[in-house]
Structure formats: structure tokens, C-alpha cells
Amino acid sequence: MIRFPNLRLFTPLAALLSLLVGLCTAPAWAQDSWPARPIRMVVPFPPGGSSDILGRIVADRLGRMLNANVFVDNKPGGTTQIGTDFVANAAPDGYTLLLGAASSFTVLPNLRKLSYSMDSFEAVGGVADYIAVMAVRKTLPVKDMKEFVAYAKAHPKKLSFGSAGEASAGHVYGGTLSRDTGIELLHVPFRGSVDAVNALVAGDIDFVIDGAATPMVKAGRAVPLATFYRVRHPELPNVPTLKEAGFDIATSKGAGWGVLAPRGTPKAVMARLSEALRKILADKSVQEEFLRANSIASWQTPEEFRLGLQADQKMYSELLPAIGVSKSQ
């Protein structure tokens, strides 16, 4: 005769075991189902500039790779502080990412007290280096860097340059140019790169050092003098680098942009994001698309990206005071 277990004892025990198994496996099921809804990629810049273009390329390709809807959410302001802080305080569930500008972690900490730090994030990896182009208004009587420096020295404090805001890359580059060549310039901050370039074309300012000037240069509406990068801009092959133009001016050595997530985002999700991003950047068609954002695709592992940011933060701690950019109280 077949004997059955005592159901009155077995049922509670089975229920308890089932509950324990469910608790242990629920996180795994949740991670396996990721992404189950749209992913927000915050770009801490206004629409239209190099960072925005780059963010949209990365979001589109990441969406294809993950078979998900990855959409861009522009949150400009505070020289990237507003958007970066938003992601630092977002839920660490893999559904909010940041296209992080290196300046958010290298320049800003040397200028003001921030509510976030690199420890507020998990790094997915570095994605690109920035190629800034120095372009002057068409009516400025110079055609190369040497003529520009000579003209600036003959007209101290008369030449103005625009940037995407206080402590932006364009501002730092302009200040470094001033310090390293001994010329005196006027800085005019704008809300974003597009506004600065529009002011240049309108003749309201004399020059910019910004990748967003590239389309205007190609259209013949601004005059390029040099690229602030170690190689020439692929879309402006006739424009020399600073070094080729005869100037050795300090610039950042780390990546210009990376993708980050809030601290505590599940490791399995971070691993999938990093692997997807690495594959995306190896695609030649993506590398060509990045040129539209005046950037060079440059994959860096999460650790390499972090180390680069640490090195540049130290570099800027010495550079910024030297170019007259002081820390606010």
C-alpha cells in the first residue's frame, strides 16, 4: 500500500520552501527580464550640440543592441551639474543612464561644492574623445594661429570668445590659450555650444573653441585655425592641430564622454551595458557617425574611465587657478 506524507505537516513546509526559493530567485528573474521598459539616457546639455548628437547616437545604437527603447532626455544647466545630479539621485534599476561629460567630474569638483561625486555612479565605460575646433569670425583679419596671437597681442582685451558656459571645455581651452600665449581675451558664456556658434557667425564674438563650429567651417561661414586635439579633425583634414600650428597648449588627456548609471545598479545589468557599449564602439559605421558629434570613438573599460577622470581632476586642480578660474564659495 502506498503511504502519503502527512499533508497537514507537508503543506506549510512546502509553502515555506517555496517562499524562500522565490525570495532568492526574484532578483535574478528581475535582472534577466531587464530591460522590460524604456531606458532614459540623460544628456546634461541642450539639444543640437556635440554632446546631444553623441547622446542620440549612443542611445539609438544601445537600444538596437538591447532590443529596447532608449530615449534621450536633455537636462541642461549648471554646466552639466543639473543633469548629472538628476542621474546620481535616480533609482539604481538600470532604467536611468547618463551620457557623462568628463568635465562634470574633473573640472566642476575644482570649482564648486557638488552634491554628487564619482562615487555616486557606476561607470559603464568611456565612449569618446572630443575634437574641439578653434574658429574665428570671417571678418577677423587672421588666417592662422600665429597671425591670431599677434593680432590679439596688438589688441589686448579686445577679442572675445564664446563657450557653452562657465568652466565648459571651450572656456577652459580659451583660458589656457590666453595663459600659454600671453594674450588677454574676454570670455562670453552662453547656454550651450549652438548659441555660442550662432553668435560667432553673427559676428557678435570673435572666436570659439568648440567642435560645434565644424558645420559652419565646412559651410564657409567661419574660419578654422586649429584643432585642440592630438590629430586633425577627419572632416577638416586641411586644418592643423595646435602642435602642427606651432603651439604646445595643455589639454585634457582623458575621455571626453562616458556612460554612467546610479551607484547600486545591479552588476548583471552593468555587465550587459558595458559589453553592449564595447561592441557598439567597435562598429565602423558608429565610428563614422561619431564624427558628426566632433568626437572620436574611444572605448575605455569602467576602470580605465575612472582612472582617466581621477588624473584629469588632479590636472585641472592645478590648471584652473592658473588661468583665473577660481572656486566659488
Could you tell me if 79 and 166 are in contact, meaning their C-beta atoms sit under 8 angstroms apart? yes
Domain shared by 141 and 220, yes or no: yes
pLDDT of residue 208: 98
Q: Which of 228, 245, 263 finishes a domain?
A: 228
Q: What is the pLDDT of residue 202?
A: 98
Do 266 and 205 lie in one domain? The reply is no
Has residue 13 been placed in a domain? no
Q: Among the three residues 195, 228, 261, which one is the final residue of a domain in this structure?
A: 228
Question: Are 186 and 263 found together in one domain?
Answer: no
Please name every residue paired with 160 in a beta bridge, in sequence order, or none if there are none.
Answer: 186
| pLDDT for res 292 | 82
User: Which cell goes with 200?
Assistant: 560667432
pLDDT for residue 323: 82
User: Is 285 within 8 Å of 279 (Cβ atoms)?
Assistant: no
* 34 belongs to a structural domain: no
Q: What is the pLDDT of residue 11?
A: 52
Residues 258 and 118 in one domain: yes
- Domain presence at residue 99: yes
Q: How far apart are CA 192 and CA 165, in angstroms?
A: 7
Write down the pLDDT at residue 255.
63
In a domain, 247, yes or no: no
Are residues 220 and 278 located together in one domain of the fold? Answer: no
Whether residue 71 sits in one domain with residue 51: yes
Q: Give the pairing type, strands 39-43 and 207-209.
A: unpaired
15 Cβ partners below 8 Å, 6+ apart? none
CA distance 166 to 328: 12
- Verify that 64 and 121 share a domain, yes or no: yes
**Same domain, yes or no: 138 and 284:** no
DSSP classification of residue 156:
T
Sorted by sequence, the CB contacts under 8 Å of residue 124 that are 6+ apart come out as 97, 258, 259, 260, 261, 270, 273, 274, 277, 302
Give residue 108's domain range: 39-129+253-322
Residue 237 falls inside a structural domain: no
Same domain, 59 and 207: no
The pTM of the full predicted model, rounded to 2 decimals, is 0.76
- Determine the Cα–Cα distance for residues 254 and 129; give it in Å rounded to an integer: 8
Question: Are residue 217 and residue 180 in the same domain, yes or no?
Answer: yes
- Looking at the fold, whether 205 and 283 belong to one and the same domain comes out as no
CATH number for position 143 = 3.40.190.10
Examine the domain organization and report whether 270 and 296 are in the same domain: yes
The tally of domains found in the chain comes to: 2
pLDDT number for residue 48: 84
Nearest-CA neighbor of 197 among 285, 133, 268, 272? 133
Query: One digit per residue, pLDDT tens: the chain, 329 residues?
Result: 444 444 444 455 545 445 554 545 444 444 469 999 999 999 999 898 888 999 999 999 999 999 999 999 999 988 899 999 999 999 999 999 999 999 899 999 999 999 999 999 999 999 999 889 999 999 999 999 999 999 999 999 999 999 988 878 899 899 999 999 999 999 999 988 899 999 999 999 999 999 889 999 999 999 999 999 888 999 999 999 999 999 987 666 656 899 999 999 999 999 999 999 999 999 999 999 998 888 999 999 999 999 999 999 998 998 889 888 877 64
Q: Would you give the end-to-end CA distance of the chain in angstroms? A: 86
DSSP-derived secondary structure for 245-295: TT-------S-SEEEEEETT--HHHHHHHHHHHHHHHT-HHHHHHHGGGTE
pLDDT for residue 309: 93
